[in-house]
Amino acid sequence: MDRPSAAGGRAPARAEPSPSRTLPRSRTVTVRLDRRALRGWHIRLLDQLGQRPDHRIRVAWVDHAGGLPPNAELLFRLEATIHGLPRPGLATAAEPVALASYEASPAGEELRSSGAQDLVLDLSSAPAEPGSAPAWRLDYDGMPGEAGLLAALFAHGAPVAALRGPDGKPVALGRLGAESHTVMLAAFEGYLARTITLILAALDGAASTELPDGAGAPLQPATAYDLGGLGARRRAAGGLARQIARRLYALCFHGPHWRVGWRRIVGPDLIDLRRHPEGGWQVLPDDGRRFYADPFAIARDGAVTLFVEEFDYRRGKGVIAAVGFGETGPRGRPEPVLELETHLSYPFVFEADGQVWMIPESHASGTIDLYRATDFPRGWVHEAVLLDGVVAGDATLLQHGGRWWMFATVRAGGGSYSDTLHLWHAPHFRGPWTPHRHNPVLIDIGSARAAGPIVARDGGLIRPVQDCREGYGAALGLARILRLDEEAYAQRVETRLRPGAAWPGTRLHMLSAAGGFEFIDGSHRARTRLLG
């Protein structure tokens, strides 16, 4: 919806860029980056700059122990997990190899200005060095770099972003905003995206150098910080680290906490009931230092084994764990059975060709991988890469119509991990997998993403789906598959289940059943124990 401006419906006039700050069209831009603090937004900015034929882009690396405090990454990972935010994103740490295609400026060369058509855009956290080439530098409310932005967000303001020339005067100015400051990662990435807009506008000579509402002059960077005052920098970093620690405490000790619910099936199951059972659910216990989610059960040799994602708050990474179930419930606690360098979740387990297989989600790897059990349930070996070069979530297999089908939500070019359903089909679960000719077959945040294995019922197929219209994993949908073949796919959501008296909390996320047991998961607010 279009909103009128604060000036009674008329947009305030934007200040014309100063002619002295408008750059000539053909130029070399050297972007100065901290090798140890490279993030996704730097890569996106360089990619957009590299698409401009009038720009020659070079990268100059510095090694500087600055940037965000170390606990900032833990905060971001935890918020992403709790709120289901997509990663990697603009704030995600990246490796310098991601910019290998850009010409590297020899050490020190960026310090020598070669004329009016050259520019140094300094996005590092290193202080300006005596004798360095004139450069544009970024600050938020006068505080330099990303640490300044995060500190401004903790101050609950609408920070003024300034890109300043060598004389300290702005070449681009903007008051940034966010829909919410409740989730720091979402706000931080929103501001980084708009910072890219500000920088590109400055390079085009189209940016405003004044605030449109007549507010006072923007803050100047603190002199001690800008000139390399070590004490000032340490105090600023220490203050931000303490603010992050307080936010971590609030999240980890009094935040949303995922949990798995289970019950013995007596009478109809959840798919037949289309509501929570009268007796409610029992909760798989945890120690508060970790949570369990994504339950997948399999019945084999007369026993039921439950596989879950186990997320340890202290490590900030998920592994796959398993626990056996007896007549009265779990036999002990889940124990890790599969761990990789990347985060793992959604352990889709199935039996075929007389063996047990698993396809865990690990979208950070850009692959969908198949594992085989060698010592069920603990021993697993990597068997094959089913799909490569795809950022996919919650891969789920189904044997139907004489073929194998794979369902997964795909994130291509950014956006949500949960709204775009792709299908593949194959003669065997090992492949080769052929993409459906109409991919994506569904774009719907309310029913695209899988919420567990597909179930045959009364001659039809019921597909549990995540309804994320009110946030990741907010509700569980039951969708009937109406058509599934190489020409088309169609489904109809018949039921939407939410948390309630039988499952208190804020989210209902997954459904799985095997051997007379039924499992769900979701979150509630609880006191967790990150450190103790």
Identify the pLDDT of residue 13.
Answer: 35
pLDDT band at 15 (very low <50, low <70, confident <90, very high): very low
Strands (E), 182-334: 256-264, 282-283, 290-300, 303-312, 317-326, 329-330
Q: Answer yes or no: is 286 within a domain.
A: yes
pLDDT band at 167 (very low <50, low <70, confident <90, very high): confident
pLDDT of 402 higher than 60? yes
- Under DSSP, the state recorded for 110 is G
pLDDT band at 181 (very low <50, low <70, confident <90, very high): low
Q: Domain range holding 203? A: 19-251
Identify the pLDDT of residue 231.
Answer: 43
Q: Which amino acid is at 379?
A: G
pLDDT in tens, 434-491: 999 999 899 888 899 999 999 999 999 999 999 988 777 889 999 999 999 999 999 9
Do 93 and 209 belong together in one domain?
Answer: yes
Burial class (CB in 10 A: 0-12, 13-18, 19+), 7: exposed
Report yes or no: 142 and 219 within 8 Å, Cβ to Cβ.
yes
Do 372 and 471 belong together in one domain?
Answer: yes
Identify the pLDDT of residue 510.
Answer: 96
pLDDT of 131 higher than 70? no
Q: How many CB atoms lie within 10 A of CB 335?
A: 12
Report yes or no: 7 and 36 within 8 Å, Cβ to Cβ.
no
Do 179 and 298 belong together in one domain?
Answer: no
- Under DSSP, the state recorded for 24 is P
Do 157 and 286 belong together in one domain?
Answer: no
Closest to 160 (Cα-Cα) out of 103, 217, 111, 121:
217
Final residue of a domain: which of 234, 251, 268? Answer: 251
Q: Answer yes or no: is 4 within a domain.
A: no
Q: 3-state class of 68 per DSSP?
A: coil
Identify the pLDDT of residue 201.
Answer: 81
Q: Answer yes or no: is 329 within a domain.
A: yes
Do 187 and 327 belong together in one domain?
Answer: no
Identify the pLDDT of residue 530.
Answer: 45
Report yes or no: 11 and 65 within 8 Å, Cβ to Cβ.
no
Final residue of a domain: which of 251, 280, 298? Answer: 251
Do 240 and 267 belong together in one domain?
Answer: no
Q: Answer yes or no: is 1 within a domain.
A: no
Structure tokens at 288: 């508060």
Averaged pLDDT, 260-289: 94
Helix residue ranges, H only, 227-269: 230-254
pLDDT of 94 higher than 50? yes
Range among 233-247, 309-323, 421-435 rated most confident: 421-435
Do 160 and 185 belong together in one domain?
Answer: yes
Identify the pLDDT of residue 488.
Answer: 93
Do 66 and 211 belong together in one domain?
Answer: yes
Do 134 and 268 belong together in one domain?
Answer: no
pLDDT of 99 higher than 70? yes
Closest to 290 (Cα-Cα) out of 324, 333, 235, 330:
333
pLDDT of 432 higher than 70? yes
Report the distance separating Cα 347 and Cα 358, nearest Å: 6
Identify the pLDDT of residue 179.
Answer: 54
Do 201 and 217 belong together in one domain?
Answer: yes
pLDDT band at 514 (very low <50, low <70, confident <90, very high): very high
pLDDT of 133 higher than 60? yes
Query: Which residues 6+ apart lie within 8 Å of 495 measured at CB?
Result: 274, 477, 478
| Range in 12-16, 181-185, 286-290, 471-475 the model is least confident about | 12-16
pLDDT band at 527 (very low <50, low <70, confident <90, very high): low
Identify the pLDDT of residue 356.
Answer: 98
Select the more confidently predicted residue: 466 or 527. 466
pTM above 0.85, yes or no: no
CATH classification at residue 216 = 3.40.50
pLDDT of 341 higher than 60? yes
Query: Which residues 6+ apart lie within 8 Å of 136 measured at CB?
Result: 119, 120, 121, 122, 163, 164, 165, 171, 202
| Range in 159-168, 274-283, 419-428, 473-482 the model is least confident about | 159-168
pLDDT of 92 higher than 70? yes
Q: How many domains does the chain have?
A: 2
Averaged pLDDT, 320-344: 94
Q: Answer yes or no: is 377 within a domain.
A: yes
Note if the bond before 88 is cis, omega within 30 degrees.
Answer: yes
pLDDT of 251 higher than 80? no
Final residue of a domain: which of 184, 217, 251? Answer: 251
CATH classification at residue 386 = 2.115.10.20
DSSP element (H, E) containing 463: strand 460-467
Do 243 and 261 belong together in one domain?
Answer: no
pLDDT of 374 higher than 80? yes
pLDDT band at 26 (very low <50, low <70, confident <90, very high): low
Percent of the chain with pLDDT over 90: 41
pLDDT band at 255 (very low <50, low <70, confident <90, very high): low
Averaged pLDDT, 225-254: 60
Q: Answer yes or no: is 8 within a domain.
A: no
Averaged pLDDT, 173-197: 78
Do 275 and 400 belong together in one domain?
Answer: yes
Averaged pLDDT, 21-46: 79
Report the distance separating Cα 243 and Cα 169, nearest Å: 30
Q: Answer yes or no: is 485 within a domain.
A: yes
Q: Answer yes or no: is 403 within a domain.
A: yes
